[in-house]
């Protein structure tokens, strides 16, 4: 009996989404004889019943493309903006699913998407998810597609900033994405030779960072690269937040909007290091440039591996799971074990041990 499958992407865009869509679509159709449609703009498209065909011509040539061809959004099924109100549209999505006689819905996304997909699974829909995020923080999988590409972009940025830091004898503070997990900043910091790496899992002490930079200066190295995860916080975070306005006195060149967007923490850290070391500091916020562009070979391989495994699980009737990467293979993990959890960097992780061993300061 022919199965009918829907696919959507939700949350932030990420390299490898199109590669995963292509893998699910081609394997589902070519190997298992299924019919596949896509829903535009994430869960909002599912709610509004906006679809697109995901067949041969549509899936051709998208392996190397960044972004996501169906589009995406951050809408949540149970809290969706409709007509100026925030409404629970879960039942409407269930009706859309049933109107297309779907046998399964594939949701590609990060932690928020996993939670939303789990809600739909609890309503009786046959759900299979794939872990996507540059933050690499989805629980129960070895790695998420999108991470490898973003890691390369952030590392390349650190490589380029070394020459400016060295030429001008500056401290360059680089803010790297990651939300409340330090995988991206830690990995890029090690690969890019950062002198200091600050991640959410380790509360930092500004004085310890300043001391490390001054030691470098006394040793003849009059520049430093500080890689900061966007979710990092100082040990005295509450006091720092209260002193934020005082830190940025009237006349500061940093706009209030920019301070709001960055939480002020990275800019504040740069200013504190400048004051404590006497070295000029500059801030670079990589932002969404880390999300864009063609996926790396590693992400294309991972997305293809997870996508084809997804099609096999649907053919076998295995639902309510996320397709997790396990070594060189895959494993279906119940969504109940994924939703609401975050994968952060363990303090005994080999990356942390390696960073310390080569003399990288971790802010503590």
Upper half-sphere CA count for residue 323 (Cβ side, 13 Å): 29
Answer for the pair 243, 177: CB distance below 8 angstroms, yes or no: no
Closest C-alpha among 301, 303, 324 to residue 313: 324
Active site residue 135: yes
Q: Looking at 103, 135, 195, 299, which residue is catalytic? A: 135
Sign of the CA dihedral with 296 first, then 140, 188, and 73 last:
positive
Query: Catalytic amino acids?
Result: 135
């Amino acid at each position: 009996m022919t199965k009918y499958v829907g696919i959507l992407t939700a949350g932030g865009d990420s390299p490898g989404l199109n590669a995963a869509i292509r893998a699910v679509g081609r394997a589902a159709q070519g190997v298992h004889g299924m019919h596949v449609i896509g829903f535009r703009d994430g869960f909002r498209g599912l709610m509004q019943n906006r679809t697109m065909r995901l067949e041969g011509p549509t899936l051709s040539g998208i392996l190397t493309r960044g972004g996501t061809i169906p589009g995406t959004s951050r809408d949540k099924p149970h809290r969706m903006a409709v007509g100026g109100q925030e409404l629970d549209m879960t039942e409407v999505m269930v009706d859309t699913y049933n109107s297309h006689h779907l046998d399964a819905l594939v949701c590609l996304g990060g932690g928020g998407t996993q939670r939303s997909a789990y809600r739909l699974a609890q309503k009786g829909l046959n759900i299979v998810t794939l872990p996507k995020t540059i933050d690499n923080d989805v629980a129960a999988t070895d790695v998420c597609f999108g991470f490898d590409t973003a890691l390369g972009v952030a590392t390349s940025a650190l490589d380029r900033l070394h020459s400016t830091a060295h030429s001008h004898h500056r401290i360059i503070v680089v803010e790297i994405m990651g939300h409340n997990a330090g995988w991206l900043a830690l990995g890029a910091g090690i690969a890019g030779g950062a002198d200091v790496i600050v991640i959410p899992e380790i509360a930092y002490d500004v004085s310890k960072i300043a001391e490390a930079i001054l030691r470098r200066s006394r040793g003849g190295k009059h520049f430093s690269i500080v890689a900061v995860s966007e979710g990092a916080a100082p040990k005295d975070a509450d006091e720092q937040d209260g002193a934020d306005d005082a830190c940025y006195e009237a006349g500061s060149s940093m706009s209030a909007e920019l301070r709001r967007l960055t939480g002020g923490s990275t800019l504040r850290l740069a200013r504190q290091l400048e004051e404590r070391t006497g070295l000029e500091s500059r801030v670079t916020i990589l932002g969404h440039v880390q999300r864009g562009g063609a996926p790396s070979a590693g992400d294309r391989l991972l997305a293809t591996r997870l996508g084809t495994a997804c099609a096999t699980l649907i053919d076998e009737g295995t639902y309510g799971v996320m397709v997790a990467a396990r070594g060189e293979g895959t494993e279906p993990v119940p969504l109940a074990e994924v939703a609401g959890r975050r994968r952060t960097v363990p303090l005994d992780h080999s990356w942390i041990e390696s960073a310390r061993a080569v003399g990288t300061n971790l802010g503590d």
